[in-house]
Structure 1
Amino acid sequence: MHTNDPKVTVLMPAYNAAKYIGEAIASVLEQSFANFELLIVNDGSTDDTEKVIRSFNDPRIVLIDQENKGIAAALNFGLAHARAPYIARFDADDICLPNRLKIQYHFITAYPEYSIIGSAVDYMDADGHFIFTHHPEGHLNEEIQQLKYSVCPFIHSSVFYKKEVVLNNGGYNEHAYTYEDHFLWVNILKNEKACNLSQTLIRVRLNPESITIDEKWRTRKFRSIKYNTLKNRVITAAEGDELYQIGGKQYSPKIKEGAYYALCAKKYLLNNYQPERARINMVMAINLHPLRLDNYLLYLVSYCPERFINWLHKVTS
């Protein structure tokens, strides 16, 4: 299996991911491209994450531990230990489709002028049910380069990149709380070529435990700091601390769960028109946060025709 000289490092940070990580690991081990190491950074998990990881008997799995420092620190720790020249990012609650590594490795070795490769992804809910297929806003390098700084050009767990390029740019900035990938891209892409493959290569799971919540649930101050630092390509420790303080207050299970149901509802209206499913999710969000008026508005909008909903989204976004 070439475990001593892997061509690709699949880099997977994990924090309290016991519920999903077994399925994620299995999807990597079943890849048609076999010359890889699966480097898992256990970011101070307090559940059975490590137990699930150790239940797999495959020499390609490498487990390293750190105290809980967050995803950016876990990724930097993993990059320092990665043995392969190419990194395939992957999250502990997602699923790799069988040919993901083969397709991206063959592309980047056939076209070495590219440093970062993403792909389309299928989004699923916490139970693994398909929600919609996401196609990035830019596919060709020229399209990606023209994207506004506020648009993240890749789904992070779909990217495949040259390790040296990220290390030469200082790795992931640990002050860019929750958008360390986006901040990295705006600093790298000015000097590197990138693309997004149009085919779906992974399944991304939306779930209440995820660190990512809908941008609409962020405070105005959080969004202001985030987009100013992306625009300027610079972030200070003080700004990072403020983001962490604001974000930390929003990561109660109740807020994350409410944001999850609201996001699923939006996707069932805008990306895969199923108003009945949207309303089921909105009822859950309303029950959790009965004082949020936007939840009621979205519920009412779900009774409108698809064409009207798409028009409303365009004029209000």
Structure 2
Amino acid sequence: MGVREPKITVLMPAYNAGKYIYEAIRSVLDQTFTDFELLVVNDGSTDDTLSVINAFNDARIIILNQENKGIAAALNHGLKHARAPYIARFDADDICYPDRLEVQYNFILAHPDYEIIGSAADYVDVAGNYVFTNRPVAFSDDEINRLHYKICPFIHSTVFYRKKTITDFDGYNEHAYTYEDHFLWAQIPDNVKVCNLDRSLIKVRLNPESITIDEKWRTYTFRKIKYRTLKNRSISEHDGRRLLEIGRKQHSSGIKEGAYYALLGKKYLWNNYQPAKARENLLKTLSISPFHIKNYFLLLLSFLPEKGLVGFYNAFKMKYEQNQAALSDAEVKRKEFNYGN
């Protein structure tokens, strides 16, 4: 008799996550839904990540070891070995709320026409302190399909999907350095039904050691390649090498810490109005990187009363959305012109 397949594979790539992975694994093992395997892909960690995983005595934990190839390669390796028809993505420094798997599994059973389900998430700092709640920019299938290509529709570690849906598109593109998820969603056609749930199912840890940093801290060349490849839904090996080279040059503690404190400063300003905490973090990032002029501007804004700041933010957001709509309209007209000629 063969081994019975679990209903869900929780897919967790891990690279040098020894500081955080115990809490991440514990949050999965404590789920109210218990019929799952936790597939941890150890991506060549050089710290104590593997020993922390091995400290757990739970048959649901499966470990795959590979040399360090990056998160996209780790995810693809995991997808090949996942035994369940449903995949719950999760990162090794995040924390699941106890009913995360139960909520998403029940939803997909009740709505079998859906293939990808995300959710909101509560963001915490490196110490686990609450910072803000990140609500997705779109929730319904129609809203998500109308998003501008520059906007990522899902918070990756909240996503729950049918394995076959993703493997049919050959999984994650390993050239899309740090935006392998966004690039994947760009490949998904409109007839694949997707949504986001309007509740937080996980805690996402903002972590200065992560390879992902605030996009504002990426170079112009990096952003240019990223958005061109997203728009064209195509990325070359050459593009991948350039992105990786830029990313490695930015993989320094100074840049990553500066980006981390800048992000905290912005979130305590725009998303969870605590001006004293915003100033504290903005001053830290300016001490690390004094030439990021925008952070001086944010520091000045932190002295505005909340009402004035909200008004400024809403005006800025409206202008941004109008610009994105204009870009989308121009693109539609260009396509119609090309088709007609």
Normalised to the residue count of structure 1, the TM-score between the two structures is: 0.97
Distance 1:110 1:263 in 2: 38
Distance 1:162 1:208 in 2: 31
Q: Which runs of structure 2 are paired with 1:121-132 in the superposition (5 Å)?
A: 121-132=121-132
Hey, what does 2:11 align to over in structure 1? 11
Hey, what does 1:230 align to over in structure 2? 230
Hey, what does 1:141 align to over in structure 2? 141
Q: Tell me, yes or no, if structure 1 residue 219 matches structure 2 residue 209.
A: no
Q: Tell me, yes or no, if structure 1 residue 150 matches structure 2 residue 159.
A: no
Hey, what does 1:273 align to over in structure 2? 273
Between 295-304 and 57-66, report the one with greater CA deviation: 295-304
Hey, what does 1:61 align to over in structure 2? 61
Q: How far off is 1:189 after superposition? A: 4.0
Hey, what does 1:23 align to over in structure 2? 23
Q: Tell me, yes or no, if structure 1 residue 260 matches structure 2 residue 260.
A: yes
Are the aligned partners of 1:6 and 1:84 in contact in 2 as well (CA < 8 Å)?
A: yes
Hey, what does 1:36 align to over in structure 2? 36
Hey, what does 1:291 align to over in structure 2? 291
Q: Tell me, yes or no, if structure 1 residue 100 matches structure 2 residue 85.
A: no
User: Which letter maps to 2:292?
Assistant: R
Q: How far off is 1:96 after superposition? A: 0.3
User: Which letter maps to 2:76?
Assistant: N
Question: SS state of the match for residue 19, structure 2?
Answer: coil
Distance 1:301 1:71 in 2: 37
State the Cα deviation string for residues 194-228 of structure 1 (Å, max 9, x = none).
00001110000001011211111111111111011
Hey, what does 1:172 align to over in structure 2? 172
Hey, what does 1:159 align to over in structure 2? 159
Distance 2:146 2:122 in 1: 24
State the Cα deviation string for residues 7-36 of structure 1 (Å, max 9, x = none).
000000000000000000000000000000
Distance 2:152 2:3 in 1: 33
Distance 1:231 1:312 in 2: 30
Are the aligned partners of 1:3 and 1:37 in contact in 2 as well (CA < 8 Å)?
A: no
Hey, what does 1:48 align to over in structure 2? 48
Are the aligned partners of 1:3 and 1:59 in contact in 2 as well (CA < 8 Å)?
A: no
Q: How far off is 1:289 after superposition? A: 1.1
Normalised to the residue count of structure 2, the TM-score between the two structures is: 0.90
Name which one, 1 or 2, has greater alpha-carbon Rg: 2
Q: How far off is 1:305 after superposition? A: 2.1
Q: How far off is 1:295 after superposition? A: 2.2
Distance 2:301 2:15 in 1: 36
User: Which letter maps to 1:149?
Assistant: Y
User: Which letter maps to 2:277?
Assistant: R
Hey, what does 2:240 align to over in structure 1? 240
Are the aligned partners of 1:261 and 1:284 in contact in 2 as well (CA < 8 Å)?
A: yes
Distance 2:239 2:190 in 1: 23
Q: How many residues align?
A: 316
Between 287-296 and 90-99, report the one with greater CA deviation: 287-296
Are the aligned partners of 1:3 and 1:60 in contact in 2 as well (CA < 8 Å)?
A: no
Question: SS state of the match for residue 38, structure 2?
Answer: strand
State the Cα deviation string for residues 124-155 of structure 1 (Å, max 9, x = none).
00000001111111111111111111110000
Q: How far off is 1:307 after superposition? A: 3.1
Between 292-301 and 62-71, report the one with greater CA deviation: 292-301
Question: SS state of the match for residue 10, structure 2?
Answer: strand
Distance 2:150 2:291 in 1: 29
Hey, what does 1:112 align to over in structure 2? 112
State the superposition RMSD in angstroms: 1.3
User: Which letter maps to 1:222?
Assistant: F
Distance 1:189 1:305 in 2: 44
Hey, what does 2:329 align to over in structure 1? none
Distance 1:191 1:247 in 2: 34
State the Cα deviation string for residues 247-282 of structure 1 (Å, max 9, x = none).
111111110010000001100000000000111111
